Amino acid sequence: MTRTKTLLGTGVSQLDRLFTCLSHPNRRRILTTLAESGPRGEDGQASISLDPNDGGLEVPDGDLAPLERAGFVSWDRRSGTVTRGPNFETVRPFISLVREHREELPEDWPEPVVR
């Protein structure tokens, strides 16, 4: 039996989906920022504002959609916020590795934007 599970019977493994999500700098920045953010707001959930007028991240919708589909983030379009999704813990070990080995990463690896 293989240890790689498929998502929703699509034949796409969770690991493939993870690497696809990590393949874009904006998505890496979002996930890293959420991993490094402490709880905020009334619900105690780490969140990122997507309102550039509020000092939030400017992120195209196309960069959020794959993260949302994978369940790594929950995206509230109405309020313009992104929070950790139900599958966020799947990506957390990779983000931790990045944090621990940041000095070994390419110079263009985006820094998290923690507010």
Q: Give the CATH number, domain containing residue 41.
A: 1.10.10.10
Q: What is the pTM of this model?
A: 0.72
| 41 domain residue, yes or no | yes
Q: Mean per-residue pLDDT for 18-24?
A: 85
| 48 domain residue, yes or no | yes
| 12 domain residue, yes or no | no
| 94 domain residue, yes or no | yes
Q: Which helix (H) or strand (E) holds 76?
A: strand 73-76
Q: What pLDDT does 63 receive?
A: 85
What separation in angstroms does the CA of 87 have from each of 2, 56, 68, 90, 101? 20, 23, 10, 6, 23
Report how many domains make up the chain.
Answer: 1
> What range defines the domain where residue 93 resides?
18-101
pLDDT by residue (tens digit) across 51-80? 666 666 677 778 889 999 999 999 888 888
